[in-house]
Structure 1
Amino acid sequence: MGEAENPDFEVAVVGAGAAGLAAALALSRDGLRTALLGRHAPVADGRTVALLDGSVRFLGALGAWEAIAPSAAALAELHLIDDTGSLFRPPPARFVAAEIGLGAFGWNVESARLVEALRACARAAPGLTLIEEDVAGAAPAGGAATVTLEGGAQVRARLVVAADGARSPLREAAGIPVRRWDYPQAALTTILSHARDHREISTEFHTRQGPFTLVPLPGGRRSSLVWVTAAEKAERLRGLDDAALAAAVERRAQALLGRMAIDGPRGVVPMRGLLATRPVARRLALVGEAAHVFPPIGAQGLNLGLRDAAALRDLLVEARQGGADPGGEALLGRFARGRALDARLRSGAVDALNRSLLSGLLPADLLRGAGLLALSTIAPLRRAVMREGILPRFGTPRLMRA
């Protein structure tokens, strides 16, 4: 047999962010010879991620949640407040995790701490090879693909998993078309301390420039901020000194949590979207932001990326048990069909919410307000929407199930 038929690994995961680390841990956990390629340089921008219940179960199955949990805060309730000034202004909507039998919808953790914990687990994982070097390219050849590192060394694998981010060089090299869109907004992110306890409640104000969201962090009196507003305003806010920015946040939050102070780094995230038309190519599968990019609204981005990783793990374990090719067309076709619908639905929901806030048109306000009013008053509908928002009813990966 030639070199292509005797690859170094069954799977090579390219990209050492949260989605790539989780994918590599999930695959190596079940005995697949897996390599994780790439370096990770975390950016200090105050970003956090709300890990929904299914994602937490997945990380628990990977043996990573125990290390993450001390840095995470439970999200027991979600409050939505219409602050658009619309003529049709619904009362605040309140969603409680206990209503659907959960202690929390999810847990909020600083992104840098999440990646740090996953990386520590990856370094200790048996059967997972870490190659902490950037990748120059990858090309399929026969029954495998060859991944070339920047230093010139090569790694062969039956399947390459591209977890290399929104600008994914592997996706571009494979010629996978994408749909891109932009919004006239940016999200200011930072960490806050405040005088009043958040009581495990995430509060989202809907404004004419986008959602303004306070998400709990551990300790009761710390929260993360995602302030979606006009791009120019976001940059102006980032340029304020700590006292002036804290005062601006306090005003925008209607003093909900009392006196505030800046308690971490800050950053500005452009509001844009991306969706790969098909998350696969020959010997290549896309996960995370290589396949889809969402604005930081509704806690969907990384949770969707973790579902990509968990779904791919299910298919590859099944292929291994049946002696099938882990990078074959049949398996990749199944992966593409299963993930495309989930990505399209989540992307469409986030896009519709954001554009409805920006439009200022009375019909859009009426629809949005009527929807929130229905969710507040019709319990079966509210419970169904909460369950679907946390985890899809159909096609749930095995390691994410209750």
Structure 2
Amino acid sequence: MSGDHDVVVCGAGAGGLAAARALDAIGLRVLVVDKQRAQRPVAKGEVLQPGALRVLRRWGTDRLLTRDGALRLGRLVVRGADGDPVMTLDYGQLPAADNALLAHDHTAILDALTAGLGPGVEIRRGVRATEALLDGSGRVVGVRLDEGDGGGGHDVHVPLVVAADGIGSRLRRAAGIEGRRSDYPHRLVSFELTGADHDSEDFSAYLTGRGLRLVYPLPGGRQRLYLQAQPGELRGLDEDGFARWGEQAVREVPALEGLSEAVPKAAATRQLFPVARFLAERLAVPGLALVGESAYAVHPMAAQGMNSAITSAASLAEQLAARLTPSAAPTARPGTPQPPAPEAVDAALRAYEEERLPVLAHTARTSDNAARMVTDLSWPGRLLGRRAVRCTGANPRLLHAITYNMAGLGPRPLTPLDRLHQIGLLPDPRAHRVPSV
């Protein structure tokens, strides 16, 4: 079995499927394994940023999503409880090809990625990667797989393993890669609403005294609602309890009054998420690369996690393609690389880490700042957060930089002076100097 594949991707979420799609495109034979026997609908990873959409356009995945009813959203808005915009990230100011978000169900996005896979990709579900295989030098040379059928594990040897197995990645730990994780002091509850008397055309976060209320549309006239909760608020609640809690949470926000009747009806769709921030200290070791939440996780408020997974997968494939030579063997697919040599793989992994780690670190900071501005309920956090939202919302130059960063079009770091402008401690004489598109 060792010669059947060039890569094993562990995890069939957005990061794993994007990695399979990208590596298949450069001619590598890919085995994808996932411990789940079927996709599970989850209420996250539903909004695609322009940076990820650039990648999906190259693959034709965006056309599949659009054909399946995906919605274009033009703005990410932070609003007061009355619904008035306080800070608006207007994607219409970005280049024409990148001037919108795309919203669809997480499973629809996974289906679109799967539909683009070629015959060089095999997916096996209900299969767990239990450990990484190492050679005498400590290089990862494959994985041990458990099919869960009582037959014991078996080993697959490949030049490259991609760990896309989530924030608790077993493979990351086996490779000795540490990371910095911090848990936010709240949870999020999601509801999928239908028939709500509320117009939502944007990705809108509402500032309230009890934390984040986030709403955005989904195909079929549905809406996704996220509610911030302190862990103690939810203890012991059954479905009726969640219905009453959710109804009260939206009734407290005048702009969301139209959702109050839809929330109790949607109590059965609720999902509860602990929220953490995580960034691995490394993205690769010889023979193994991290993609998706095994490397990087952020607060859903910023809509960056799935998007960074997709762009990271594309980056990994580009680094490999630059170091693989076309095969002259008559049995190979024309123009495809030979099975990659470990030396070439490891050179590509070093380049992948060098390129992506600073980008992910910057995105993590941007995402954390955005999340804390609207979720921090301590009095200093609320004071600084609300002030930052107002001052940023009144500064076109900072708005443009933040929109560009959130869109995933490339880092435009804010300077320490920008941070002082952002919280209103210094006036910004350049506030209206917005770069041309």
TM tier, shorter chain? 0.7 to 0.9
Q: Which residue of 1 aligns with 2:223?
A: 223
Bigger drift between 252-261 and 152-161 goes to: 252-261
Separation (CA, whole Å) in 1 of partners of 2:70 and 2:99: 12
Paired residues for 1:278-289 under 5 Å: 278-289=282-293
Provide the TM-score with structure 2 as the length reference. 0.78
Q: CA deviation at 1:52?
A: 0.7
- SS of residue paired to 2:300: coil
Alignment gaps of 5+ in structure 1: 85-89, 396-401
Q: Which has the higher strand share?
A: 1
Report the counterpart of residue 56 of structure 2 in structure 1: 59
Match of 1:301 in 2: 305
Shift of 1:208: 4.5
1:379-394 alignment runs, 5 A limit:
379-393=396-410
Report the counterpart of residue 346 of structure 1 in structure 2.
363
Question: Given that residues 10 and 157 in structure 1 are in contact (C-alpha distance below 8 angstroms), is that contact kept between their aligned partners in structure 2?
Answer: yes
Q: CA 1:243/1:134 → structure 2, altered by over 3 Å: closer, same or farther?
A: closer
Work out the CA distance in 2 between the residues paired with 1:317 and 1:7. 20
Measure the CA separation in 2 of the matches of 1:236 and 1:251. Answer: 22
C-alpha change, 1:328 and 1:43, in structure 2 (3 Å) is closer
Q: Distance in 2 between matches of 1:270 and 1:81?
A: 24
Aligned to 1:117: 112
Other-structure match for 2:420: none
Contact 2:191–2:271 (8 Å) recurs in 1: yes
Contact 2:142 2:160 in 1 (8 A): no
Residues 144, 99 of structure 1: alpha-carbon distance in 2 compared, 3 angstrom cutoff: closer
C-alpha distance in structure 2 between counterparts of 1:313 and 1:243, whole Å:
45
Task: Report the CA distance between 1:48 and its aligned residue.
Answer: 4.9
Encode CA deviations 1:28-84: one digit per residue, 9 max, x unaligned: 012122222224443345445211112123223223333333242222122212459
Q: 2:418 maps to what in 1?
A: none
Length-normalised TM-score, structure 1:
0.84
Structure 1 residues 377 and 274: alpha-carbon distance in aligned structure 2, compared to 1, 3 A threshold: closer
Retained in 2: the 8 A contact 1:7–1:158?
no
Q: For structure 1, which segment, 24-33 or 368-377, has the greater mean C-alpha deviation from structure 2 after superposition?
A: 368-377
Return the offset for 1:95.
Answer: 2.7
1:171–1:286 Cα contact (<8 Å) kept: yes
Cα distance in 2, alignment partners of residues 130 and 310 from structure 1: 19
Q: What is the deviation of 1:126?
A: 2.4
Q: Is the 8 A contact 1:185 1:209 kept in 2?
A: no
Moved over 6 A (4+): none
Look up the equivalent residue of 1:23 and give its one-letter code. Answer: A
Q: 1:183 maps to which residue?
A: 184
Distance 2:72 2:309 in 1: 21
Q: Is the 8 A contact 2:198 2:256 kept in 1?
A: no
What does 1:244-255 align with in structure 2 at a 5 Å threshold?
244=244, 247-255=247-255
Local SS of the residue matching 1:248: helix
1:25 corresponds to which letter in structure 2?
A: R
Going from structure 1 to structure 2, the CA distance change for 1:376 and 1:146 (only over 3 Å counts) comes to closer
Q: CA deviation at 1:230?
A: 0.8
What SS does structure 2 have at the residue aligned with 1:175? Answer: coil
Alignment-mate amino acid for residue 73 of structure 2: L
Contact 2:200 / 2:215 at 8 angstroms: preserved in 1? no
What is the CA distance between 1:21 and its match in structure 2?
Answer: 0.6
Q: Give the conservation status (yes or no) of the 8 Å contact 1:79–1:94.
A: yes
Measured in 2, the distance between the counterparts of 1:79 and 1:257 equals: 18
Give the Å deviation of 1:297.
1.8
Distance 1:253 1:50 in 2: 24
SS of residue paired to 2:278? strand
1:92 match: secondary structure: strand
AA partner of residue 269 (structure 2):
P
Secondary structure at the residue paired with 1:247?
helix
Match of 1:313 in 2: 317
1:189-226 deviation digits (Å, cap 9, x = unpaired): 1211244463521210133543210011124x421012
Q: Who wins on radius of gyration, i.e. which is larger?
A: 2
Partner of 2:378 in structure 1? Answer: 360
Cα RMSD for the two superposed structures: 3.1
Following superposition, the deviation at residue 17 of structure 1 comes to 1.1
Does residue 127 (structure 1) correspond to residue 120 (structure 2)? The answer is yes
The structural deviation recorded for 1:237 is: 6.6
Bigger RCO (CA 8 Å, 6+ sep)? 1
CA distance in 2, matches of 1:156, 1:274: 29
1:286 Cα deviation (Å)? Answer: 0.4
| Distance of 1:29 and 1:330 partners within structure 2 | 20
Matched, 1:337 2:337: no
SS of the residue 2:78 aligns to: strand
Name the CA shift for 1:243/1:284 in 2 (closer, same or farther; >3 Å): closer
Q: Distance in 2 between matches of 1:237 and 1:54?
A: 39
Partners of 1:46 and 1:279 lie apart in 2 by 26
Following the alignment from structure 1 to structure 2, what is the Cα–Cα distance between the partners of residues 234 and 57? 40
Residue aligning to 1:97? 91
Q: Confirm or deny: 8 A CA contact 1:187 1:234 kept in the other structure.
A: no
In structure 2, distance between residues paired with 1:280 and 1:257: 48
Contact 2:218 2:224 in 1 (8 A): yes
2:181 paired with 1:192: no
Letter in 2 for 1:131: R
Residue in structure 2 matched with residue 398 of structure 1 by the alignment: none
Letter aligned with residue 75 of structure 2: E
Whole-angstrom distance in 1 between the partners of 2:60 and 2:237? 39
Whole-angstrom CA distance in 2 between matches of 1:37 and 1:168: 14
Superposition map of 1:139-158 within 5 A = 139-141=133-135, 145-151=141-147, 152-158=153-159
| 1:274-295 superposed Cα distances (whole Å, 9 cap, x missing partner) | 2211111221110101111222
